[in-house]
Each structure stands twice: as C-alpha cells, then as structure tokens.
Structure 1
Amino acid sequence: MGSTSPHAQEKRVKRTRNERGETVVQAELQEHREHNSALEDEDLVMNPRLVKTMPKRPNAGPLVKTLYPWPDPNNPPTGFEHDPHSHRTRNVTPAPTIPKSRIAFTDAVFERLYLPLDSLVDNIREEQQTQIRANPGEFLAVVPFGAGAALFKEKPRLNNAVVGFLKTFRYPDAELKDSLDETLTAIIENGSPTKVEAAHRAKDNKNPDATGLQLVMPASRRTGTSRDKFARPWAMFLRGGSPRLREYLIYQQTFAIDKDLAFNVLKIEAKTPSWVLCNFKGDAVRKDQEEVIMKAIKEKLWMSDDFRHHATKVLTKARVPGDINAHTVYATSSFTLTFFENTDEKGNAATVVQLRGCPVASTDEELKDYHAIVRTTPYWIDNMILLQRAGEVSCQLCKAVTHPTYDCPFPKTEGWFGPKYDGAEKHAARVQKTAARGGKYGSQGRGGPSRGSANRGGLAGRGKGRK
C-alpha cells in the first residue's frame, strides 16, 4: 500500500462530559483536503480596524479621458503674446536710438511680419542656403514688396538701390563728423543738383554705421523661367553694418520709399516655427460660429489618442508638469481663430478660418507629426465637416501667411509711399468678368482661377483673432 499523506486523516478534538461529570476526549476524522494549506485550520478573518488603516487603491478615473473634467474650450487663449504673427513694429521697450535719413519714407507702425527660416531660404542654391543656415545671426533678410522670380529678373540691381538708401541713415555723432568735412558741406550748400547728390553719396560712403554693408541677391535654384512671377526665392540677405543700425532696421522693419522701392527687413529666426496650424473652409465656416468651431476642434483633439500621446511625449520631455490630460489641455490652450470673409470668383461667400497656436514640437520630425495630426483629424459642426483643404492663406505683396493679397494692410497705411494695390477693386473686377462669361471660370493657365484662390491670396476681408 502506498504511504498516507500526513493530512489524509487530520483529527479534530472534541471534549464532552459523561453522566458522572468526567471529561471525555474524542477525536473525529476530518475530510481529506486535496490541497495543502499554509494557513491554520481557522478561517482567516480580517480585523476591521486593520482594514480601515490600509491605503486605498488608486482611483484611475482622472486619467480616463471620458471622465476627466475638461475646461471650457472657449476659455481665453494663453501665451498669445508669443505668437510671432501677432506683434507690431516698434514694440521694443526701451526703443533704440532712431537715426535720421535725408530720404523720406512712410513713418508708421506696421504689422510685424514673420517668415520662418525655411521660407526665407527656400529655392536658393545650396551654397547660399548652407551659409545662411549655419550663421543666421550674421544676416538680416530683406524682402521686397511683390518679391519673386519676376521682380528679381526685372530689377537685377535692386540690392544696390536698397543699400544706397540704408547708407543715408545718420546718428547724431555721425552727423557731427559729416559737418567737419567742409568741402562736401560747401558743395551740398551751394552746388548744382547733380553735384549735391554726388556729395551726399560721398558722405554716405563714409558713414561709419554702413561699414561693410552688403546686400546679397538670392541665387535661384531654378534654371528656367517660372510661370509664377511670385515664385520663391523672395529674400535678399544683408550683412555688415553697425549693431545699432541693424537693431534699428529690425525695429522699424518696413521701409516704403516710393512705388518702385519698398521692403521689409526681418530678423532670421532659426528655431521659431510658424503658429499657423491649419486653414478650414466649408459650409460650417461662419464668423457667428466661432465658439462652436473652437469647441469642436478642441474637444475632438482632447479625445484623439494620437494627439494626446504626441502632446504628453513632447511636454514630458520638456518637463511641463501634469499628466496626459493636463498636457492635452496645455497643448490646445494657445489656440485662436481668425476669419477671412472670402468670396470666390463667382461672388459666392467662401469664408476661410485660420487656426493658430503654439506648435507642440521641439524637433523637425515632431513638428511634422504634430501638423499631420491637427490637419488630418476630421472636425464636425452640426453634421457638416470642416474642410482642411483650404490651401495656404498668403499675400503676394508682403508674403505674410496671416492675410490674403487683396486685403494686405501695408498699402492701406496712412502716408504709404510704396506700390499701390487696390485688391478689393481687382477682385470685384474678376467677379464681374466671371459673371459676364456666364459664371464660368477662366483658363487654368496664368491668370486662371488659382489667382483668386486661397493659396494665391484670393480672399476678401481680414478677420481678427480671438482675444
């Protein structure tokens, strides 16, 4: 016979008393247990006092996106002051010392133009691009109004005209030195117009703040003639000059001298990305739907796992405190909407709304992923979808991506000396021509409907961002 398990016949002791009052000890056999137990025979009962003092299990509710107390999606935006597209010129405190020029130009405050580095060096030859990317602080970008392939072809000496103007700026100490040159001063006071101009240029060439001033024309990668007269490259690149002159040029930015010479001077920002995230169109895009649109965009992204995961990965790396839900709110907190009351070439309403916000990215790859998520996520308004295929809102004149060409604010500035452009009248004329053709668009070639589309600046009206 096989051996018997030590637990095969466990006994339970039972004590009773007989008739004579004597204690009798009896043993009962326990049923066989299939499994050994490390516990004693008594059932384990938790002490209620011990249970109360045990730590509670963590509540997973707050991390569940459907249970999280999301804020009002129409709360005022945060960090709006960091939007590079939202500033004005002359917004530095204290203001730099302002030099004088003998040549008049439009003395006004303008919208601060922002173009990222990629836009400024796009379509220039590799040799130039490499040097500028490696030393962005050495250069300032000079972007003429209406810049593009046609302008640089028509005006191959435009850089000389700009440098000639910049040399006319004088600071008080330089003016004092000029006055000590008696010969040139005498010519300026008594000479003929031709000699006076020559004397002024001679003084300009001695201007200490213009030492080493050089404006490099862009070397286009394109070998043939572009059908698009506004095709990139757009910028010339300024090097040299005194630090105080360069500081003033950035401070003033916009110089409109006459109809043939107007330009913007921009600091080259190597790392600041554009805050323009997406442009939407469709039947749901109406100015009176602003809060509804913002609510739809934010709530959709708050529930998007792709957006949530991207936001928390980038923001955790940046040491922004909070969990995945807090990071998701943070990532959308800077969002604003700007409306463009557009009409197409038939005169039909075709409003476009632009979504802006701080991109959640620290690398080019992260920025690419972020844009892809925001731009491909479907957003619905009352069973109507917001269409992301609205193209790029851009201005052919100043190259801004925050307003259309025929509503460019620069030519509307009081005292504007630069090129005139009445975009509203031109757009109205296109609408009339389309109507005269029976509502049919023009050819698809040069001057066709793309000239009036969103990506060519064909929008009417310039909205205001949410405050």
Structure 2
Amino acid sequence: MTNTSMTADPNLAGPTGAMLLDPAPNTAAAAAKATKRKRPNALEREDGELDDEGRPHEGENQGDAHAANPADSTPPAHQGTQAANHPVNTYQPNNPHAQTTRRGLPPLEPSQSRIAYTKATYPRVVKSLDGLLAEIMEATADAVRANPDKYIALLVYGGGNKVKEENPNLTNDIENFLLGLTIAGNERIRVVDPPKRDTDKRGEFAKPHILLLHHGSPELRAYLLWYQTFAFQIEGRKIAFSALRFDAGVRPWFITDIVGRAVCDDPEAIREGLTTITSALAKDTEFRNHVDACLAKVENPRSIDERVQDTLKSFEMYSMRVTNKEKKETTVWQLFANPIANNGLEFKEWLRIITSRRYIIDEIDEMFIRSKNLKPYDSCAFCKSEIHPEEQCPFPLVADWKGPIPKDVRAERAKAKEEAAIRNGARERGNPRDGRGGSRTTRGISSSNSRARPY
C-alpha cells in the first residue's frame, strides 16, 4: 500500500515521502492532508514477556492546550564531540504525531553506559499534562503542576498494574539504569511510583502509566528528553520507558477515528471526506463561536471568518488499515488538527463539537465519527498511543529493540514468518535452479514509510 498526502497550505511541507495535493476547490477554509498508512512489517525479534489479555480500553486524549506544540521542546545543553555521531532531524512536520525524537541539537553523550540500551529514532510521544497525571493522587499531581520542571514523566511501556506486579523492582531497575548512564550530577536522582487516586482500579493496564523522575540534573534531563525512549534489560527483565516533560502547552492533535461506507484508501475519497468536514465546520455556528472565543483570548482582534479559516487550515486526515476488534483488517480515516483551546475544558469542548456532528459526503455515503468507546480497534496499551492497535506498535520494530514485545506483535510476526515460508516454498518449486522469479522492487520507489505517517 502506498502513501499519499494532502495539505491545507501548499507552502507547508508534509511528512517525508508524502505527495502534496491541491486543496479541493469547494472549500475556502481548508483542504486536506491525507495519507494511506501501511501496516509495519512483522520483523523477527526476540519474544517479549508481556501480554495484553483482558486489558481495559482507556483513552488518553485530554488535557490543557493553549499553544502550538513546539517542534523542539527539549532543553538546550552543551554539545560534545560524541554528539556529532547522531543525525539531527532538521525537518519536523507541524503535526506532533508525525514528528520524531532527536529534535534539535543533540546533547552531550555520556562517556559510557553500564547497561546496554536500544539507540534509535522513535516516533514522538504526545501526551498532555492532564493525560500524564491521570489517576495520580491530587496532592501529588498539584505538586507537579506547581513545579513541572522539577520532574520528568517516565511513561512505562506497557505501564499499569501488571508490569509492576511482574517486576516489583521496576523503579529500582530504572533508577539503576539512569545511574549507569554516568551523567554528572545524578547522585541524588529518585524514581518514584506516584500514589494512585483510586487504589481499587486493578486493571492490568490501569492508570497511572508513569513514574516520576526527581532530582535529575540539567544534563540528564537534556539527554533523556532528546532521546525520549529507552529500552534495556536487567537480569532478563525487559523494560522500556519514554521520558516526557510536564508541559501544559503540549496537547494531542488527534481528534477521532472515522468509519463508514465512504471510508476507503482512495486519495480522492479522502480529500472529499476532509473537504466535507471542513466545509461543514466552517458554517457551524457553535464551532465558529468556539474558535472565536478561544482565539480572542490570545491574539489581536480580527474577524471570525479569518479565525475560522486559519483554524481549519491545520486539519489533516489520514487513511490507515487496522486490525479491528474482530481481528479483521479494515480501513479507518483519522482526523487531526491543531487545537486552539487555552485549557482542558476548552479542549474537551473542541473535541465534542467536532465529533458530535454528522458528516454526509452525498445523499448515500455518510461518515461516522467513532467515540472512544466505539473505536473499531483497541488503542495500544503498550506505548499508550490512541491511533494504532497494539500489533501495529512501531516501537518493537526498531532495530535491536531490547524492551517488552506485546503478545499481538509476537503473533503478527509468527504469522508473517509462516506466510513468508509458504511464499518461499512456492517460489523454490517454481524456480528450482535460481531465485530470479521473485518480484523486483521498482527502481526509485522505497517501501519505507517510517516518517510518512503520524504515530
């Protein structure tokens, strides 16, 4: 499956490898950015130890939102000679879900690490302040909000009750890993499991999903936030976490999944679908008033039409094939936009207005917005992304991944390995003397889409 992209502003670059298309002629407010997304190949990896049976579905898309997500939100740090060995991702799309780690100038590398870990460029993890602090005791959450720069959130891969029960040494293991980086000023670091707001929630993947890093030096903070994700093993225990800052200005762009008879992989259909949504919202009184009220608080006076038009320019829509809850492959459209809310309540209202409308492409085809409890697939309980199922999680697909591997990913790999063996057997029977009968990749076309879609 190939990738296609549309953008509302032809002067803005889209994700790498995406083809830009002109806006649809029947909307003055926005056009469409649409990408057909390819399921990651099920590469062979060492089996992990976690599974996800019986996990509850829990959404994460809440929180404060009052400024555009910065493409580079890592703190500055002085560079050393070793830092030049790491490529810097100079291009980053506006959509934070399409950004990657290693944004901005690289920090100073530690001289050594006592524990080996996976070094790779990962998708950026986008979590709001409220999303990170969900289900943490209010007094602790308030302390973090009051002094966010004193702490770093360590979002545990597969975080929840089960991973802590299976590894009672989790906080000590992560603390020892951080000490093993031998970065100056880390003698007092503490990794803390924050107290829960409700201790009765016993789901395997129940929130909170984070640990708190306290007393990290500026050098350690810079290093952790630049790399973001760390996967390692201690005495056979497979551990991974993503280091995130507590930032009230970071918020998800993801709005909703869309299904319906009109939903397919055709770029023209995706363009038409997004045009239908943006055209309807441009005329929607409640949406217009909400945009006007939010932006009036943070910018100079201008007309409501100008504010609505600029807001709709950030709308993007992508097509992705996912495995639904019935374990069948289906196509969904995913809607993204830069939220214009100044706080969590305005952000929830933004989502409510957009997702509560009916969008009809013509008299026959209707697009159905799926709320979280009606999603056609279970969101990834391991990396905590809302926009892909567990078996399509990109983290275990990186080279030399040392962290846990979800059960569904292992199943996908076993299936792919079996199918490859069958294909190879058929090819050998058809070409007993050599392997020239296999398919050949078209010159100049790459199957890689590592940065051509949101994470």
Q: Which residue of 2 aligns with 1:98?
A: 109
SS of alignment partner, residue 265 of structure 1: strand
Which protein is richer in helix relative to its size? 1
Q: Deviations over 1:107-149 (max 9, x none)?
A: 1111111211112111122222221122111110112211112
Query: Structure 2: how far apart are the matches of 1:420 and 1:129?
Result: 30
Question: Could you tell me which amino acid in structure 1 is paired with residue 156 of structure 2?
Answer: P
Structure 1 residues 380, 109: closer, same or farther in 2, change over 3 A?
A: same
1:218 pairs with 2:189: no
Query: Structure 2: how far apart are the matches of 1:145 and 1:152?
Result: 11
SS of alignment partner, residue 351 of structure 1: strand
1:356 pairs with 2:368: no
1:70 pairs with 2:48: no
**CA offset at residue 217 of structure 1?**
0.6
1:380 pairs with 2:360: yes
Q: 2:227 aligns with which of 252, 255, 274?
A: 252
Question: Could you tell me which amino acid in structure 2 is paired with residue 210 of structure 1?
Answer: N
Per the normalisation by structure 2, the TM-score is: 0.66
**CA offset at residue 315 of structure 1?**
2.3
**CA offset at residue 241 of structure 1?**
2.5
SS of alignment partner, residue 170 of structure 1: coil
Query: Structure 1: how far apart are the matches of 2:185 and 2:414?
Result: 47
Q: 2:392 aligns with which of 402, 407, 419?
A: 407
1:420 pairs with 2:408: no
8 Å CA contact 1:341–1:463 kept in 2: the answer is no
Q: 2:259 aligns with which of 281, 288, 292?
A: 281
Q: 2:98 aligns with which of 80, 86, 94?
A: 86
Q: How many equivalent residue pairs?
A: 331
8 Å CA contact 1:159–1:215 kept in 2: the answer is yes
Question: Could you tell me which amino acid in structure 1 is paired with residue 193 of structure 2?
Answer: M
8 Å CA contact 2:29–2:312 kept in 1: the answer is no
Give the gaps of 5 or more residues in structure 2: 1-25, 36-67, 70-91, 416-448
**CA offset at residue 406 of structure 1?**
1.0
Identity %: 30
**CA offset at residue 415 of structure 1?**
1.2
8 Å CA contact 1:339–1:462 kept in 2: the answer is no
Per the normalisation by structure 1, the TM-score is: 0.65
Structure 1 residues 292, 464: closer, same or farther in 2, change over 3 A?
A: farther
Query: Structure 1: how far apart are the matches of 2:27 and 2:221?
Result: 50
**CA offset at residue 308 of structure 1?**
1.4
Q: 2:146 aligns with which of 120, 134, 138?
A: 134
1:290 pairs with 2:250: no
Q: 2:218 aligns with which of 240, 243, 259?
A: 243
Give the gaps of 5 or more residues in structure 1: 1-67, 172-207, 431-460
Q: 2:296 aligns with which of 306, 313, 316?
A: 316
Residues 163-182 of structure 1: matches in 2 within 5 Å? 163-170=175-182
Q: Deviations over 1:137-187 (max 9, x none)?
A: 11101122111122223323211111111111235xxxxxxxxxxxxxxxx
160-169 or 401-410, which deviates more: 401-410
Structure 1 residues 425, 162: closer, same or farther in 2, change over 3 A?
A: closer
For CA contacts below 8 A with separation 6 or more, give which structure has more relative contact order: 2
Query: Structure 2: how far apart are the matches of 1:299 and 1:243?
Result: 47
Query: Structure 1: how far apart are the matches of 2:308 and 2:30?
Result: 13
Query: Structure 2: how far apart are the matches of 1:372 and 1:340?
Result: 23
Q: Which residue of 1 aligns with 2:321?
A: 341
Q: Deviations over 1:256-315 (max 9, x none)?
A: 112522211111112322211222122222121211111111111011111112222222
Query: Structure 1: how far apart are the matches of 2:150 and 2:349?
Result: 31
Question: Could you tell me which amino acid in structure 2 is paired with residue 264 of structure 1?
Answer: S
SS of alignment partner, residue 98 of structure 2: coil
8 Å CA contact 1:337–1:465 kept in 2: the answer is no
Structure 1 residues 333, 76: closer, same or farther in 2, change over 3 A?
A: farther
SS of alignment partner, residue 260 of structure 1: strand
Q: Deviations over 1:384-441 (max 9, x none)?
A: 22211252663111112232211000100011111223635637999xxxxxxxxxxx
Residues 152-191 of structure 1: matches in 2 within 5 Å? 152-170=164-182
1:234 pairs with 2:209: yes
**CA offset at residue 463 of structure 1?**
10
Query: Which one has a bigger Cα radius of gyration?
Result: 1
Q: Deviations over 1:350-374 (max 9, x none)?
A: 3222211111211333222222111
Q: Deviations over 1:56-95 (max 9, x none)?
A: xxxxxxxxxxxx98256237999983433222111112x1
Q: Which residue of 2 aligns with 1:180?
A: none
**CA offset at residue 249 of structure 1?**
0.8
8 Å CA contact 1:342–1:350 kept in 2: the answer is yes
